[in-house]
Amino acid sequence: MRDVEIRDATIRLGQLLKLAGLAEHGAEAKELLAEGEVLVNGEVESRRGRQLTDGDQVELGDEVVTVVTG
């Protein structure tokens, strides 16, 4: 598990996947979400625009990242 620091109070899930290096581009993030491979706080999430805030956890395979506001 690792922390990913964001500058603002929120970040969209698609942006976080790219920032954390879990997806190389938006199309890849969209595909991962459509396939049900991404969990947010333990639940499957399919919305690329889902707003994440401090403390939210995102899982993709063996990777777990926690959103931390700077």
pTM: 0.94
Does domain 2-69 fall into CATH 3.40.50.300? no
Residues 6+ apart with CB under 8 A from 45: 13, 33, 38, 39
Among left, alpha and beta (phi > 0; psi -120 to 50; other), residue 22 is: alpha
Domain boundaries, the chain: 2-69
Percent of the chain with pLDDT over 70: 100
* pLDDT in the model for residue 70: 83
Mean pLDDT of the chain: 97
pLDDT per position as a tens digit, 20-49? 999 999 999 999 999 999 999 999 999 999
